[in-house]
Chains A and B, each alone.
Chain A
Amino acid sequence: MNTLKLKNMKTIKLLALLFISSLAIGCSSDDDGNDDDHDSEEELITTVIYTLANNADNTDVVTLTFTDLDGEGGADGIYDISGPLTANATYTGGIKLWNATENPAEDITLEVEDEADEHEFFYSSTAGLTITKTDVDGDGNPVGIATTVTTGSAATGSLTVILKHEPTKPNDGTATGAGGSTDVEVSYSIEVQ
């Protein structure tokens, strides 16, 4: 009887020990519990600004902006076009990607530039624009952060900007042909007059 009790005691002790040790495991390490562990969306692109400056007229600067401050989901993004482009003109284009949820806003374009060989912008337009990429990555393939845009005669249509992550490089120059996954796809309604 005594030996039996002893064994029971051992079992109970073992149970207690396990209980305590598991609690210790459970509550230790990188438990950040009820702390405010809200992460900001570090990778988010909230703002895409495509700035077109007329090479012949430095007062003619058109900015095409897409803003979606609360990211994917939530409210839909908003387009803002500063004005019409001039017909038969040549513009120097520069694209900027921002994460405005960070303070100060983070320039995502720099990240793309750093990994230029894994990224490429693609531009297409239905308003008679010819868009040429003027920059290259380390392998001599186009990147598309810097562009030259030539307008034709007066028209209305869209200008679509696509950023592909890990596309095939070099490729046939189209977003479809390049594969990869889409990081940015915005389509501005523009007017050439």
Chain B
Amino acid sequence: MKHYLLIVVLCFLNLAHTQNCTYTLLGEIKDFHDGTPMSGATIYNETSNTYTSADINGKFTIENLCNGKLVLIISHVGCETKRVEVDIDGDTYQEINMEHHLEELKEITVTTDSKIEKTSIQQTVSKKQIETFSDKSLGDALNTISGVSSLNTGNTIVKPMIHGLHSSRLLIINNNVRLFDQEWGYEHAPNIDINASGRIDVIKGANSLMYGSDAIGGLILIRPENYAVKDSLFGSTSLALNTNGWGGNINSEIVKTNKNGFYTKIQGSYKTFGDFESQNYYLSNTGIKSINASARIGFKSFEKGFDAYYSFVDNTFGILRASHIGNVGDLVRAINSGEPQYISDFSNTINNPKQSIFHHLGKIEAYKRFKEFGKLTLQYDFQINRRKEFDLRRGDKANVPVVDLRLFTTSLQPNLRIDAYENLKINTGFLLRYQQNDAISGTGTTPLIPDYDKYDFGFYAIGAYNLNLLTEISAGFRYDFSRIEASKRYRVTDWDETYNYDELFPEFNTGVIEDSRYFTNPEFSFHNISANLGYARHMRNDFEFIFNYGLASRMPNPSELFSEGLHHSAARIEIGQLTMEKEIANKFMASLERKHQNFGFTISPYYKYISNFIQLIPIGTTTTVRGAFPVWEYNQTNAQIFGVDIDLYKTISNNFNYTGSLSLLRGDNLSEDIPLINMPATNFSNSITYNNEKLNQLSIGLTQKTVLQQNRFPDYNFFTFDPVLQQEVYVDISSTPETYTLFNFNSSARFKVFKTKTLKVAFNVENLFNVSYREHLNRLRYFADELGRNFNIQLKINY
């Protein structure tokens, strides 16, 4: 208010006195971040229509000024042109700060080399690629990246894997919020609507300390789009239709941006599929229904801003009816018959068994930049995940879930980015998180995961330093403290005899017995330390070399500690162990990259040594009322995983492009000197694309993908007595399916419609030759084939 008064007073004075135009303005133009003078900046005096420029010290003078308001427009290479109003009151000094970080305020055109850090080894799925997966899942989209595969339960529940590692070993960061959606379960897919994302980065190397200390496998970063600061209203609607599953997806989004910095986005999608079909039969009860919505509102300017985001995901997944089996005998029959034990005609209805999951995610983030210092960001977020699993049950329990868990997570994360030094950038911050799991009562089953409260605290510091123009090094450190307090009932026989907990953990037992179960309160605290080192060097001819070392530690997840339950789909009882210790990984990864217009490649070898690697393996059978049942237990071993990911591209001619990739991986259980379970097999892909920009941006492509048979697997097969056949039967749960090759065809073109709008039309064929195959990383591979041919049409209109 004072300022306004002053101006008014000044104006008044100006009017009252005769103009005395002898004053001088001394200006100094500096970089906002580090205060370095901006020599050579152009200063346009709008008031007098004259130009001047800043000297080597960023200084300039304008003489013979009258008192009053002066309008200057300052421009400098690489900076946003700035308009400033200066109040001249006698000889005046004015400091003007210019901003180099233009990209943060504009739309970023995603190129493969825009990395989170120069030293990170990462690959990106662009918005354009994401759009082609609008009716698929996150895991499907990531599967196109070398070194990334997926652990599937059927074809709709797709869990991403990086270098054979999944679940709690992968951090999925959605809009800067670490996803907590009961990701510990092998058949729990990430609750993400891929349509809500702007780009997805997969970080295979070690640059992930900002998000957690336990990224043993890697990091999946789902990022929103960045909007330009201008007045605009735009949106799009896309529709995808498929013959396999007779379903599809519709997605709409609308974005409003303002030149004052405010922006709003609303997005929603609906997906529905009926039973999918393999080459020879319908996969009964494999449909999916998914309703998603997201909204964001924010304000951004260079100095400050905020962003609020909320998303809602509601998924219902049908589980292959034939995979519901009662005992090991049923499993043997399923394996030996080679065909599902239950096949019916196509249906749109999702019956039991099924999963029904809600996921709410909300966050708000605010930032403020400080001159010659850096950027302070404060983020608060919460997530609620409710998972219900329905099984085939008798009588009035048919519609009561067997699993009903609700997970609530909330966290507060301040981050400070110091960018005042020209060659050194520092990120530091801390994290406070609270998590509560609630096993909802009324299921009529023992909860798979017990009630627990979990508290986390962590802090980190990461620095990146430019040694010279061509070389950058980075280093980081992180410490995390976690405490979990659970309450669970254990069978007296299990506690006292099977697991010997009466001697190992007597302090957890309250001594209260009910229904021959002890009431116990297991509590654990973990201290995790993680660190990383990175080195990146640019070389001649667009070559770049990157090396990463990472130390990561992960506390056992609740499933590994407490899980106790029967999985019908795998005919197994899965049991966690209180004796689990934290997993510690040492990761080494290098990458030689060439990013040239006509020919480029990436060769990334890696080696991971993981001590106390937690794995879920069969340990024998137990006799139950249903007959013999395999028991799978979590145990720990020392493991190594190493391999190489290779990607390459080549421009053949103006219109033809080639891309190819190859992933080789080997996982060893070092303690027992056998292969690790569930490791992805060698796979490679080749694709040829024809593009014609002039002809409606026509694009036609053919992709081949081959997955070789996994010959390195641990042999956990066993014999069991089948009382029906009155003989020992061989239970082959370990052997892997044969090599398969799939071909996909895709084509797309853009058309101008309604004068200003563009319509993109795509036609694709998946599994072109309708091959019948099974994939060893699909948990339902014992029961049915994978999908047969699919014709897909996608329409997208931008407005």
Contacts and interface: CB of A to CB of B under 8 A. Distances in A.
A8 B366 CA distance: 9
A37 B362 contact: no
A2 interface: yes
Contact of B575 (A43, A70, A73, A124): A73
Interface in B323-362: 324-327, 329-330, 333, 341-342, 360, 362
A68 interface: yes
Contacts, number: 177
A162 B722 CA distance: 12
B370 to A, nearest CB: 14
Interface in A172-190: 174-176, 179-187
Nearest to A185: B627
B345 to A, nearest CB: 15
A160 B366 contact: no
B724 A165 contact: no
A25 interface: yes
A135 interface: no
B438 interface: yes
A135 to B, nearest CB: 18
Nearest to A118: B394
Given A18-B364, A33-B438, A41-B444, A112 B622 contact: no
Interface residues of A, number: 70
B384 A74 contact: no
Given A19-B380, A31-B438, A43 B723 contact: no
B726 A126 contact: yes
18 contacts: A18-B380, A25-B382, A26-B410, A32-B438, A37-B441, A40-B515, A45-B625, A71-B624, A75-B493, A108-B394, A158-B723, A165-B392, A176-B333, A179-B342, A181-B326, A182-B325, A182-B627, A183-B326
B384 A25 contact: yes
A72 B489 contact: no
A115 B631 contact: no
Interface residues of B, number: 69
B324 A181 contact: yes
Interface of B: 1, 3, 304, 306, 308, 324-327, 329-330, 333, 341-342, 360, 362, 364, 366, 378, 380, 382, 384, 392-395, 397, 406, 408, 410, 436, 438-447, 451, 487, 489, 491, 493-494, 498, 514-517, 564, 566, 568, 573, 575, 622-627, 629, 631, 723-726
A79 to B, nearest CB: 9
B441 to A, nearest CB: 3
A70 B493 contact: yes
Contacts of B382: 22-23, 25-26
A43 B397 contact: yes
A160 B723 contact: yes
A34 B451 contact: yes
Q: Counting chain A CB atoms within 10 Å of each CB, which of B342, B395, B493, B723 scores highest?
A: B723
Nearest to B495: A74
Nearest to B378: A15
Contacts of A45: 625
Contacts of A32: 438, 440-441
A101 interface: yes
A186 B625 contact: yes
A182 B626 contact: yes
Contact of A26 (B325, B408, B439): B408
A39 B623 contact: no
Contacts of A179: 341-342
A43 B1 CA distance: 73
A42 interface: yes
A185 B439 contact: no
A39 B445 CA distance: 6
A37 B189 CA distance: 27
A76 interface: yes
A14 interface: yes
B568 A181 contact: yes
A73 B491 contact: yes
A39 B326 contact: no
Nearest to A183: B326
A74 B406 CA distance: 26
A41 B445 contact: yes
Nearest to A12: B366
A40 B382 CA distance: 32
B488 to A, nearest CB: 9
Contacts of B516: 69-70
Contacts of A147: none
Contact of A43 (B393, B441, B631): B393
A185 B395 contact: no
A43 B568 CA distance: 14
Contacts of A46: 625
Contact of A37 (B325, B440, B575, B631): B440
A165 B321 CA distance: 12
Contacts of B439: 37
A101 B397 CA distance: 17
A77 interface: yes
Given A43-B444, A76-B622, A115-B394, A162 B724 contact: yes
B308 A14 contact: yes
A2 B1 contact: yes
A39 to B, nearest CB: 5
A11 B366 contact: yes
Contacts of A108: 394
Contacts of A160: 723-724
B626 A185 contact: yes
A22 B362 contact: yes
A181 B446 CA distance: 21
A174 to B, nearest CB: 8
B410 A73 contact: no
B306 A38 contact: no
Contacts of A165: 326, 392, 394
Contacts of A174: 724
A30 interface: yes
Contacts of B304: 4, 7-8
B624 A111 contact: no
Contacts of A71: 624
A15 B380 contact: yes
Given A30-B440, A183-B626, 18 more contacts: A2-B1, A15-B380, A23-B410, A26-B384, A30-B406, A32-B441, A39-B442, A43-B393, A68-B625, A72-B626, A72-B629, A73-B573, A77-B624, A111-B395, A158-B726, A164-B326, A166-B392, A184-B625
Contacts of B724: 122, 124, 160, 162, 174-176
A126 B727 CA distance: 12
A27 B382 CA distance: 12
A72 B394 contact: no
A114 interface: yes
Contacts of B324: 181
A179 B343 CA distance: 11
Interface string A72-115: 11111100000000000000000000000100000010011011
A95 to B, nearest CB: 13
Nearest to B489: A38
